[in-house]
Amino acid sequence: MRFLFKTDYEQDIQLAKHSGYIWSYGALLLAVLIVPFFLEEYYVGQMTQLYIMAIAGVGLMLLAGYTGLISLGHAAFFGIGAYTEAVLTGNGLALPFMDEPIVFSFFLSFPLAGIFAAIAGIAIGIPALRLVGIYLAIATFAFAIIIEEILSRWESVTNGYSGLLVESIYFGDFELTDGTPFYYLCLGVLIAVILFSLNLLRSPTGRAMMAVRDSEISAQSMGVNLAKTKTIAFALSAGITGLAGALFAHKLGFLSPESFTVLQSLELLVLVVVGGLGSMHGAVFGALFVLALPQGLAILKDYLPTQIAEVPGIEPLLFGLILVLIIIFEPLGIYGRWLKVKLYFQMFPLYKKATFKRQKSYMKSERLR
Partner 1 sequence: MSEPILKVRNIETYYGPIMAIRGVSLDVEEGKIVTVLGANGAGKTTILKTICGVMDPQKGSIVFDGAEIQKKDPDKIMRRGLSHVPEGREVFPFLSVRDNLMMGAYTRNDRDGIAHDLELVHTYFPILKQRSEQPAGQLSGGEQQMLSISRALMARPKVMLLDEPSLGLSPILVKEIFAIIKRLNVEQGMTMLLVEQNANIALHTADFGYVLEVGRIVMEDTTENLLNKDDIREFYLGMQDHGVRGKRRWKKRKTWR
Q: Which residues bind partner 1 (CB under 8 A)?
A: 352, 354-361, 363
- Smallest distance from partner 1 to CB 340, Å: 12
Q: Which residues pair with 171 in a beta bridge?
A: 174
Helices (H), the chain: 10-13, 19-34, 41-60, 74-89, 106-125, 133-153, 155-158, 179-201, 204-214, 216-221, 226-252, 262-275, 280-287, 293-303, 306-309, 314-329, 333-346
Nearest to partner 1 of 102, 347 (CB atom)? 347
Q: Which residues pair with 93 in a beta bridge?
A: 102
CB contact burial 31-57 (16+ within 10 A = b; e otherwise): eeeeebeeeeeeebbebbbbbbbbbbb
- Smallest distance from partner 1 to CB 309, Å: 41
CA distance 70 to 106: 32
Nearest to partner 1 of 281, 340 (CB atom)? 340
- Smallest distance from partner 1 to CB 353, Å: 10
CA distance 174 to 188: 18
- Smallest distance from partner 1 to CB 331, Å: 12
- Smallest distance from partner 1 to CB 364, Å: 11
